[in-house]
Structure formats: structure tokens, C-alpha cells
Structure 1
Amino acid sequence: MGSIMKAVIKNPDDFFPLLKLKIASKKAEKQIPTEPHWGFCYSMLIKVSRSFALVIQQLNPQLRDAVCIFYLVLRALDTVEDDTSIPADIKVPILKAFHQHIYDRDWHFACGTKEYKVLMDQFHHVSTAFLELKKDYQEAIEDITMRMGAGMAKFICKEVETTDDYDEYCHYVAGLVGLGLSKLFHASGTEKLFPDSISNSMGLFLQKTNIIRDYLEDINEIPKSRMFWPREIWSKYVNKLEDLKYEENSEKAVQCLNDMVTNALIHIEDCLEYMCQLRDPAIFKFCAIPQIMAIGTLALCYNNVEVFRGVVKMRRGLTAKVIDRTKTMGDVYQAFYDFSSILKSKVDMHDPNAKTTITRIEAAQKICMDSGTFSNRKSYIVKNEPSYSPALIALLFIIMAIIFAYLSANRPNKIKVTL
């Protein structure tokens, strides 16, 4: 609650969205099932992705369980891939056979750190829950896990040299997630089966945003993490990828960053096409919130040397606004238009990729404008913050303290998971 108070001092307009987010988080924690294996899965989901846990709670119960297990299975697979202490001759066979392990209630593998180590050590809970899903869900999860594991295994021994390699890697680790979710949505009976191309773009847009944003964290990781910025892009600006983080290379680093962002923008049209065809409101919100977060993050990162100096991410209050206000496709068009306008305002026409960047932004904005659904809507980006008196801010703090005390008093007992 203290973090909310600090955020509200800087941006008072964030108060109610942050408060709603806090209440929703507490509600999600209370909805953790009592069965040991499901209790473990949903508790783990909150630990590895709190925001994901919030949007998944809105799905219908069967689909919610399937998406939860799908996410945890792929998180576990990703934990194996990311653990640089595992020799390739051990890691590759595990990745390739992972889709078989999810049927084995006794299988587990020691790797990862913190909550990811717990996930791997107690993976039998995930397998037990997986085996309770209906057959259509199991088959979709198995298929995507098999394809993703094979793709990850391929890139253990292969560097990302070209932009085609970059797209291929992102397809394996994220595009396939988009395909898998489309399969799960279809199996639930609520959505048609979307074309692979636009399902793939939904994943690529998110993955490329993460790769761009996490440059410094990944390059500084010990033991050294694998990097996925394609050589075809970064070699135009520096001799070694790590050179981008040095202050003397700031100008070239920003140009390279802008090149990477421009590459990611190509997926926006497919993402908007995918979202506008969704029919179920809960599935729509589940898909739309991460996509809006991605375009918002790209707008922050573009032309921003801080990507190479520290952490660049959307403030918590703005994230809360996105979660609170994203209800219709008109909201999505508004958000994409707003954030792409911010990005466009940062384009330096001397940048080597400026014309391509502008072209891709304007193409996305035209789709938003042609939709005719976002005019006069409340913007995600409040340009003129309202004036708040110290007395009103103090009153807000008192209200927050009362609500926090109420939530604490009604906090459920922690679930004990049997091993």
C-alpha cells in the first residue's frame, strides 16, 4: 500500500485505478482453489506473473484452468532453456522431450532459481492438474510444448544472426504461445480458430518488446545470458553487442534501439486485426491488456538512452489504468493511437530509420482512425493532470489506509501444499 501512496503523490489521477488493481489482486488470491495441486498452480501463477494471474481470473473456469496450466508448462520449459548452468548435451534432450514429461506425475528437474526452482522441483502438481483438463486442451498444450521445445533446442546451438533468425526464434518462444492460446480459445467453444499468421504476430509483438526492454538486464546477467538482438541490426552500429551499453556509444546505441523498435512495429496491424475479431469479452481483455502494455513500453523505450542505463517500464499507475479502462476494441484503438502518437513525437528525422518508423506508425494510426470507434474517448495519457489540494490527497491516503486495514483483516489463511 505504501507503494501506491508514493505513486499517487506524483500522479493523483492514478489513485482509483491503483486501488481497483489492489482490490482485484486480493480477490485473485482469495480465489486460489483448495485442492493441493490446483492450489500450487494458482499460487505459483501469482508468483511468476501477478498481472497475468489477474486477467486469467476473468476467463470461464475451464478455460481459466487450461490457460493457467499452459502458462506454467511453458514457464517451466523456459526455465530449462534459460538456465545457463545446464550443459547443452543435457538441456537439448530435456527440451525436446518436455511435451512427454507433462504426462508424468513423478517427473521433475532441478534447475532455475527462486520461484522457478520451486516450480521445477514440484512440477508433479502441474502434471496432475494437466491430466485433469479435457482432451482438447491437453492436445493443444502438448502440441505447442513439443514445437516450442524443438525450437528452443535448435537455438541452443544457433545464434540469432539475421532478422529472419530473430523472427524464427521469437516464433518458437512466443509466436507459438499465440497459436496455442488460439487453439485453447477455439477448444472452449467461444472463438473461431484464427489464422496462424496473426496469432503468431500477437506473440512476436510481445516478445520483441521484452527483448528490447530487457537489454541491460540480459547483457549484465551472471552467468552470461544469451542475447537475441539480431547481428544484422546491431552490427550496423557497433562491433560487439555489449558496446551498446557504454556511454561513449550512446548515439549509435539509440539508433540501434530505434531500429529494433521499428522492426517490432511491423506486427501492429496483425495484432489489431486479431483483437477486433474476438467475441468473448473476457478473452478480449485477456489478449488486449498485454498488447497495450507492449505499445506503451515501445513508446517509452524509443529514442531513450535509459534502456542502456537502467530499467525502463510503464509506471504502475498507468498500468492500472490500462487494466481498468480496457473493455472494448474502441479502448484498444484509443490506446494504440495515443501511445503511437507519443512514439511518433520522439522520432528524430535524422535517425537512419526515421522514414520507415513514421510509415509504420501512420499505418497503425490509420487503422485506429478508420475504425471510427475511439473519438472523444478518455485518453490513457492524461495530458493535463487535474489539480489536487493537499487536503484531498490526505483524504485519499486515509481512505486507502482504511481499505488496506480491511483487506488485511480479511486475508485468507495461506494454503499448505503437500509434497
Structure 2
Amino acid sequence: MELVKKWLGHPTDIYHLLRFKMGGYRVVMARLDPDSLGAGLRACYRYLNQTSRSFAAVIQALDGELRHAVCIFYLVLRALDTIEDDMTISLDIKIPMLHEFHSYLYQPEWKYMESKEKDRQVLEDFPTISSEFRNLSKVYQDVISDICYKMGIGMAEFLEKKVDSQHEWDKYCHYVAGLVGIGLSHLFSASELEDPVVGQDTELANSMGLFLQKTNIIRDYLEDQLEGREFWPREVWSRYAKKLSDLAKPENIDMAVQCLNELITNALHHVPDVITYLSRLKNQSVFNFCAIPQVMAIATLAACYNNKQVFRGVVKIRKGQAVTLVMDATNIQAVRAIMYQYVEEIYQKIPSTDPSSNKTQQIIASIRAMSLPNGPMASRHHYSPIYLSCAMLLAALSWQYLSTMSKAAEEYIQTGEN
């Protein structure tokens, strides 16, 4: 019954959990008919579903030939990322592999069988992936190969150094996420589902990636510490502690939260670019693909802001909240409303004594202005009080069933997938 009480405190969660289960998921979680694909593509989509908790569904919902191009793009970068992550590969082998990885796309027999990583299947059967890559139109091949080359160079650069300045933080996030945003934008325009300007404006596309990556890095402080990884910029955390690991000590919690708030403020500066980018998209499947991760990110930052739990465990948004965002973020007016809602949530939590409070208030003012360009905020919700009451009653009667169902949704909407 504790779960029922929790849901009754968030009635819109119940409505959207029901709406999601009763067919709404098809908008963003469409499934391909495997019988319509050749053996190679069937294998690629199988690997996509095996290696991606969240992007697999929205990739498969993309329209036309863009779907296959983005699927192959994802798998190629997953293979590259698997090499970077594999600590059993010595640097004298890994660095040349990262530099040359783009060339493996045109080597039909290349594969790597020595990886110990969980996603090693994309390396072991790389010939299937590279074969489907070469089946793509040349315009898609050129984009994927170029991004793969640039990302490999960037990954190799940061293998032997830590992130010191905020400039280097932006540079690292550009290599591992901004380039993905740029590559995807080129693919969107190449497919002609979006206007050329979407692919041409690389600054906005880069911000799309940086906002997601910074959110993941901020949220994953403790997990990265336990794994021996450090991605918070020294320039920031050194003002609050002698070592980054010191922020997790109970006696340093006040300084740790101030450091956290400063980094969240930094990440929020990408939100105006995110709103501008999304406002240019015309194709519904592309909009869903791009908007859902961004609204998940702003909700995650709102949950993390001024929250000591970041240094004690995992901060997650509610399952029902996540499904609500998936169902709501289908047009730019709704996305503006969502951004407004969560920056207001952050604003209400800004401590007057926080060193970054003025900067946080300033960026929130900018986001507010963009979120309300034409007067009153558009409503995100489309349901009647009677329907909502029925949904609440049904949830109270069948809470165990809904709990089981929401786990499936959570597999899709997890923020921060690698």
C-alpha cells in the first residue's frame, strides 16, 4: 500500500502509466517486423536491443531510411566506446585502434575477439555491422566515418589525462557526446526529413550532446568514484576540496553540495541552445528521438540540485515521472513547458548562501524567457478530472500490476545510458 500512497501523491504519473500501457508507448517504442529485414540488418537490430536500454526503441521509431542509418551509427560508436572502456587492452594497442577505427568500416574482415567488455558482441561481429554500414547511402557513410574518426582521436587524447579546466570539460564532452549530436544532425538533414540548417548549425547540435553528457557526469559522481573514474573538472571541485573523492566524506557535505550546484548551473547554460535546436525540427519521429533525452536530463538535474544524496547513492526520477515525460514531450510547446517546470523547481531550491546562486538565477531567467515566448505557458496535460479520478481508482485496485508494467517502461526511459 505504500506504493499506492506514493502514486496517489502524483496523479499525473498514474494517468500516463496507464496511457503508456494502453497503447501510448507505440509512439516512441515502435518495433520493426524482423521478417521485413535481411539477415545482416536483423543481426544489427538484435545487437541494438542488446546493447541499448533506451535508444533502441526511439531509433526503431525513426522514419524511412534514417532508421537504419542511425542504428548503424549507434552500433559503430558502441564498438568504438567498447574499445575505449576496455581496461584489459593496453594503451599501446588501444590508442592506435582508436585512431584507426574509422578505417575498419571499410575492412570487411576486421573484428576484435579479445575484449572482456559486456558489449563485446559488436566487436566480435563487426563484419556484419561494417557490411551494413557499406550498404548505406554514401552521404550517410561519410557522416558516420567522419564522426568516428574525430571521436577516436578525442578519446585517445583523454586516455592519459584528467579533466582539469572547464574548457577541457567542454572539450571532453564534445568528443564523447557533442560529436554524436553533430553526427545525428547531419544524418537528419541528409535524410531530408529535416532542413539543411539542422545539420549546418554544429554549435546547437554540440550543445544537445553536452547537456546530456554533463547531466550524466554530475549524477554519476559516486558511481564513477567507486569505479576509479574522474570526470568533474578540477578547476571547479578544487575550490571545495583537496581531492575529488573528499566530496563524498560526510564532514564535507556542505561544500560538496555547493560544488554540485555550480556544475549544475554550468550545465543549465546549454538549455537555451537545446530549446532553439528542438524548435527547428519538423519530423515527429526525429523530434521524439531528440526531445525525450533532453527532458529526462532537465528532470534529473532538478532532482540532483542541492541534493546531498548525489554523494551517498543514486538519484533517479520516478518511474511514473519518466513515463509522463515520454508521453508529454511530443511538441516544442510541451518541451518549453517542461523546461520551465523544472528550472522553476531548481529556482525554489536555490540557497541564499550558495556561492553560485546569482549565476543560477541568471541562467534560469534566460530559460524562463525562452520557455514563455508567447505569453502563458501551454498546458502539458490533456485529460479530464473524471478520467484522472478513474485512473487513480484503478491504480489503487491494481497497483501490483502497474508496478510490474512500469518496470518495462523504465528500461526504455533510463537517463544516462552509456
Counterpart for residue 84 of structure 1? 87
Q: Indicate the SS of the match to 1:334.
A: helix
- Give the aligned partner of residue 393 of structure 1: 395
Q: CA deviation at 1:95?
A: 0.6
Following the alignment from structure 1 to structure 2, what is the Cα–Cα distance between the partners of residues 391 and 331? 27
Taking a change above 3 Å as real, the CA distance of residues 97 and 403 of structure 1, as seen in their structure-2 partners, is closer
Shift of 1:152: 0.7
SS in 2 for 1:130: helix
Contact kept, 8 Å, 1:7 with 1:316, in 2: the verdict is: no
- Classify 1:359/1:101 alpha carbon distance in 2 versus 1 (closer, same or farther; 3 Å): same
Question: In the TM superposition, what is the alpha-carbon distance from 1:57 to its structure 2 partner?
Answer: 2.3
Deviations 1:153-197 (A, max 9, x none): 111122211011111111111111111011101110122233111
1:336 to 334, 339, 345: 339
State the superposition RMSD in angstroms: 3.0
User: Quick one: structure 1 residues 168 and 400, their matched pair in 2 at CA, closer, same or farther if it must change by over 3 Å?
Assistant: closer
Shift of 1:338: 0.4
Select 2:296's aligned residue among 293, 301, 320. 293
State the 1:135 CA deviation. 0.8
Partner of 2:413: none
Q: 2:190 aligned with 1:184, yes or no?
A: no
Provide the C-alpha distance between the structure 1 equivalents of 2:253 and 2:286, rounded to a whole number of angstroms.
41
SS of the residue 2:70 aligns to: helix
- The aligned counterpart of 1:128 is 131
Closer/same/farther in 2, CA of residues 372 and 288 from structure 1, 3 Å limit: farther
Pairs within 5 Å for 1:110-149: 110-114=114-118, 116-149=119-152
Q: What SS does structure 2 have at the residue aligned with 1:312?
A: coil
* Higher alpha-carbon deviation: 387-396 or 43-52: 387-396
- Out of 201, 211, 217, the position equivalent to 1:211 is 217
Deviation (angstroms), 1:377: 3.9
TM-score, structure 1 as length reference: 0.86
The 5 Å alignment of 1:295-314 reads: 295-314=298-317
Q: How do 1:353-364 residues align onto structure 2 when only pairs under 5 Å count?
A: 353-364=356-367
SS in 2 for 1:190: coil
Q: Which residue identity does 2:340 align to in structure 1?
A: Y
Partner of 2:283: 280
SS of 2:69 mapped into structure 1: helix
Deviations 1:202-258 (A, max 9, x none): 11001100111111111101xx3x321110001000111111112111111111111
In the TM superposition, residue 76 of structure 1 has moved relative to its aligned partner by 1.4
User: Which aligned pairs between 1:18-417 and structure 2 lie closer than 5 A?
Assistant: 18-21=17-20, 24=25, 28-29=30-31, 31-32=33-34, 34-109=37-112, 110-114=114-118, 116-191=119-194, 192=196, 193-221=199-227, 224=228, 226-372=229-375, 374-378=377-381, 392-393=394-395, 395-396=397-398
State the distance in 1 between where 2:271 and 2:395 align. 39
Distance in 2, Cα, partners of 1:103 & 1:328: 39
Partner of 2:16: 17
Closer/same/farther in 2, CA of residues 369 and 120 from structure 1, 3 Å limit: same
Q: Which moved more, 1:328-337 or 1:309-318?
A: 309-318
Shift of 1:19: 4.6
Paired amino acid for 1:393: A
Amino acid in structure 2 at the alignment position of 1:361: I
SS, match of residue 264 in structure 1:
helix
Q: How far apart in 2 are the matches of 1:393 and 1:214?
A: 32
Q: Distance in 2 between matches of 1:283 and 1:374?
A: 24
SS where residue 61 of structure 1 aligns?
A: coil
The one-letter amino acid of 2:210's match is L
AA of the residue aligned to 1:201? S
Shift of 1:396: 4.3
The CA deviation at 1:6 is: 11
The residue identity in structure 2 corresponding to 1:86 is I
Q: Structure 1 39/330 Cα, relative in aligned 2: closer, same or farther at 3 Å?
A: same
Alignment match, 1:416: none
For the structure 1 residues 317 and 350, does the alpha-carbon distance in structure 2 shift closer, same or farther, using more than 3 Å as the test?
same
Q: Is the 8 A contact 1:175 1:202 kept in 2?
A: yes
Answer whether contact 2:29 2:60 (CA < 8 A) is retained.
no
Q: Tell me, which stretches of 5 or more residues in structure 2 are unaligned?
A: 409-418
Is the 1:333–1:373 Cα contact (8 Å) retained in structure 2? Answer: no
Higher mean C-alpha deviation, range 345-354 or range 12-21: 12-21
How far the C-alpha of 1:9 sits from its partner, in A, is 7.1
> Which letter does structure 2 place at the counterpart of 1:378?
H
Inter-partner Cα distance in structure 1 for 2:80 and 2:63: 26
CA distance in 1 between counterparts of 2:345 and 2:92 reads: 47
| AA partner of residue 231 (structure 1) | R
Task: Give SS of 2:362's match.
Answer: helix
* Change in CA separation of 1:314 and 1:47 when aligned onto 2, cut-off 3 Å: farther
